[in-house]
Copies of this chain bind each other. A is one copy, B any other.
Amino acid sequence: MISIVLIGTGNVARHLFDTFRLCPETKVVQVLGRHEKNLDYFREFSGTSSDFKKLLPADLYIIAVNDDAIPSVSQLITDKNGIVVHTSGSISMDELSHHDHRGVFYPLQTFSEERKIDFKKVPICLESKQKEDLELLKRLAHLLSDHVYEISSEQRKSLHLAAVFASNFTNHLYHIGNTICRENQISFDILKPLILETAHKIEDLSPHDAQTGPAKRGDKRTMKKHMEELGDSGHKEIYMLLSRSIEKEYHKEGKN
C-alpha cells in the first residue's frame, strides 16, 4: 500500500485522485487545498484540510498546483519523511530544493473537467533525486499507466515545449479552422473526421511522411488564392509562416 497526500484541487489533482481511488494498492490519506469549497470533490473518499499544520504522514506528497506556486507550497511541507514530487512539465525538480527526497511525477496529458481520461494510456514521466525513491515512483506509475518513462529535468523542459507545439498550438489551429467555417456558414462538424484522422495518422507514419497540402506540393497557385481569401491579417501571417516552414522542409534542394 502506498499512502499519498495530494496537494491541490485542480484538474490534474482530480484526475489523479479518481485514478488512485480505483487502485487498491494506493490510498490518498489527505487532500490539501487553500479553499474549503474546492475540497468538496474529495471529502467523501479522503481526509481533507486547508491547513498545512495538519499535514498527515505519508509515503508520498504530490504537489499538483499551478507552476508558479510550486516552490512556495513545497516549503510548507515540513518535518515529513515522505518523498515530495510535483506534477509539472516545465518546472525543474530542484525547485523542490527544500526536500532531500524530491522528484517529479509528470503525467503528460491534457486534462479537462469534461472528459474522462484512460490513465492506462497516459505517459508518466518520472525523475528523483535519490535513486532509491525512483523505485516507489515507478511502482506507483506502473499501477496507473502502461507508459512509464524516466525523463530528466532538462529533457522534461524540451518535452513540454514540444507539447506546446503539438497540442496547444494545434488546438489553436482547430480554432482558426472553426472560425473560417463559422464565417462561411459551414458546420465545423465537417472538419472533425479530418482532424481525427490527421492525429491518428502519426500512429503509423512520421509527421514528415504524413504531410500533405499545397505547401508540401509547392502549389503556389492554391497558396496565392488562399492568401487572397483570408480576411484576418493575423490568420494571413500564420498561413504564410507555416506554409514557408513546410516549403523549407520539402523543397530545400529546389531552392539552391
* Residues of A that sit less than 8 Å from B by CB: 67-68, 90, 108-110, 112, 114-115, 117, 121-123, 125, 147, 149, 151, 154-155, 157-159, 161-178, 180-181, 183-208, 210-216, 219, 221-222, 225-226, 229-230, 234-235, 237-239, 241-242, 244-246, 248-249
Contact = CB atoms under 8 A, between A and B. Distances in A.
Report copies per complex: 2
Contact of A178 (B183, B203, B206): B206
A200 to B, nearest CB: 7
Contact of A195 (B170, B173, B206, B219): B170
B246 A172 contact: yes
Contact of A110 (B123, B175, B194, B225): B194
A67 B180 CA distance: 22
Contacts of A211: 168, 171-172, 175
Given A67-B219, A165-B177, A181-B159, A196 B186 contact: no
A157 B114 CA distance: 33
A196 B197 contact: no
Contacts of A234: 244-245, 248
Contacts of A162: 176-178, 180-181, 186, 191
B237 A241 contact: yes
Contact of A161 (B155, B163, B172, B226): B226
